[in-house]
Amino acid sequence: MSMDRRKFMRVSGLAALGLAGGASRDLLAQETPPDTTRAPLTGSRWALVVDLRKCMAAGDCTDCSQACHRTHNVPEFDNPKDEIKWIWKESFEHVFEEQEHEFLEEALKHVKTPVLCNHCDNPPCVRVCPTQATWKREQDGIVMMDWHRCIGCRYCVLACPYGSRSFNWRDPRPFIKEIKPDFPTRSRGVVEKCTFCEERLARGLQPSCVEACKERALIFGDLEDPDSEVRRLLKERFTIRRKPGLGTQPEVYYMV
Amino acid sequence: MYDGGKVILGLVVFLVLLAAPIFYNLASGEAQHVPELEKAARGDQCVRDSTYMTGNHMDLLNEWRDQVVREGERFETGPDGATYERSLSNTCLSCHVNKAEFCDRCHDYLGVQPYCWDCHIVPEETQP
C-alpha cells in the first residue's frame, strides 16, 4: 500500500476530529440534576440526643444496635477481641468515667448507656488518618469513612478516645447472620464505625437506631436549625457529653 | 561461535513459533477465543454505551465510588433520561443479573481479579 505524505496528513487529521467529536459527545451525555424519589434529609450539623431515662426504662433493650448492625452488615464474632461495634451499650460508669462516684444514683449505677461514634466537631481520628479514609464532611459534620481507602493502620482506633472504632481482624463475611444486599460488607484489615446512616439520610430516612428505638430515647436532628427538636431539648434539659475535657466537641448529647 | 548460523536460525524459528498465535490473530483480525458474555436480563440501555463500558467500566466505577462516598452524589441521569443510582450492586447487577457469566467470564479470560466483591454484594449471595 502506498500513501504519500499529503494523504497521510489528511487521513490522520480526519481521524483526530472524529475522536474529539466522540469524546465531546460523551461529556455532553453526562450529569443532569438528580431526581430522587424521596428528598434527602439535609442539615449542616447533625447531632444525636440520648434520653437516658427513657432508655433506662426499657431495661436490657438492644433494639438500636440490632437494627443498626442488621442494616450495615455488621458481623457477630464469638470472641470479644474480634468484636465489631457501631452502636452498643456500656455501663454508665464506663461511659462517663469522670462522673462516677461511690454514691452515684442507684438507677444510674445499673443503666446501660448506648454509645456510638460521637461525630466530633474536632475529630482526633481524622487528624491522624494518613490516607484521608476518614474525614469530616463539610456539609453536615458527619465523620465519614471511605472503606476503599482505609489501609488498616489503626491510628484512628488509637486516636479515638471513645472506642468507637472497630478493626476487622478477620474476614467479616462468614459472620454476618443475614446479609443485606443494599449495603456493602467490609473486608479484613479495614476499620469501621457508625456513619450516622448517611446512606439513609440521602434517602430521606432517619438513622436506623433512631427509627428502631420504641422508647423514642434517641433524637436525631440538625443543631444549626434553631427550631429542631434537638435544639429544643438541649435548651430545656440538662445534657452531658463524653470526656468534654479533651476538646473533641462530641455531637452526641446525653440527658441524664 | 561454533555453528553460529544454525544456532541463530534455531532461535529465529523458535521465536517465530512462539509468536505465531499473535501473528495469526493479527493477520486474521480477530481473536480465536472471545468470551461470550451474557446479555443484560432487563433494560435495553446501559448507563453508557457498550463500547465505552467494555473498555472503561472500571474507570466509571471508580468515578462513581468517589462521587458517592466522597461527594455524597448518589444519582445521575442516564442517556435515556432515567435517573440511576450510582451503585454496582443495586444498578449494574440489577440488569446484569448473572455475575458469573458476565463479570467473571471476562475477568477470568483477562486474568484480572478485581476486589469489588470482597465487600460489595452480589444479590444472589444473600440467598443461602
- pLDDT one-digit tens code per residue, B47-91: 988 899 999 999 999 999 999 999 999 999 887 788 889 999 888
Query: A74 pLDDT exceeds 90?
Result: yes
Q: Percent of chain A at pLDDT above 70?
A: 86
Q: What is the pLDDT of residue A17?
A: 59
- pLDDT one-digit tens code per residue, A76-115: 999 999 999 999 999 999 999 988 888 988 888 888 999 9
- In contact, A234 and A242? CB cutoff 8 Å: no
Q: Which residue of B has its CA nearest to A134?
A: B70
Domains and CATH numbers, chain A: 46-255 (3.30.70.20)
> pLDDT category, B28, cuts 50, 70, 90?
confident
> pLDDT category, A69, cuts 50, 70, 90?
very high
List CB contacts (< 8 A) between B123 and chain A. 181
- pLDDT one-digit tens code per residue, A200-244: 999 999 999 999 999 999 999 999 999 999 999 999 999 999 999
Query: B114 pLDDT exceeds 70?
Result: yes
Q: What is the pLDDT of residue B126?
A: 56
Q: What is the pLDDT of residue A48?
A: 97
Q: What is the pLDDT of residue A27?
A: 43
- pLDDT one-digit tens code per residue, A84-93: 999 999 999 9
- Segment A25-31 long-range contacts (CB within 8 Å, at least 24 positions apart): A26/B48, A26/B52, A29/B48, A29/B79, A30/B76, A31/B76, A31/B77
List CB contacts (< 8 A) between A73 and chain B. 121
Q: What is the pLDDT of residue A244?
A: 94
ipTM, two decimals: 0.76
Q: Does B59 touch chain A (CB under 8 A)?
A: no
Q: Does A187 touch chain B (CB under 8 A)?
A: yes
Walk across the sheet containing A218-222 and list its strands: A218-222, A46-51, A252-255, A239-240
Q: What is the pLDDT of residue A37?
A: 65
Q: Percent of chain B at pLDDT above 70?
A: 97
- Asked if A34's CB is within 8 angstroms of B75's CB, the reply is yes
Q: What is the pLDDT of residue B32?
A: 72
Q: What is the pLDDT of residue A24?
A: 47
In the 3-class helix/strand/coil scheme, how is A150-176 assigned residue by residue? CCCCCHHHHHCCCCCCEECCCCCHHHC
The domain spans of chain B are 1-31, 50-126
Per the DSSP assignment, residues forming a β-bridge with A116 are A87
C-alpha to C-alpha distance for B7 and A242, rounded to whole angstroms: 80
- Work out the average pLDDT over B39-53: 85
Q: What is the pLDDT of residue A31?
A: 36
- Asked if B72's CB is within 8 angstroms of A198's CB, the reply is yes
Q: Does B72 touch chain A (CB under 8 A)?
A: yes
Cβ count near A128 (within 10 Å): 16
- Asked if B126's CB is within 8 angstroms of A180's CB, the reply is yes
Q: Does B76 touch chain A (CB under 8 A)?
A: yes
- Nearest CA distance, B22 vs chain A (angstrom): 22
Provide the mean pLDDT of chain B. 88
- Asked if B79's CB is within 8 angstroms of A29's CB, the reply is yes
Query: Quick check: helix, strand or coil at residue A252?
Result: strand
Q: Which residue has the higher pLDDT, A36 or B12?
A: B12
- The whole-model pTM stands at 0.79
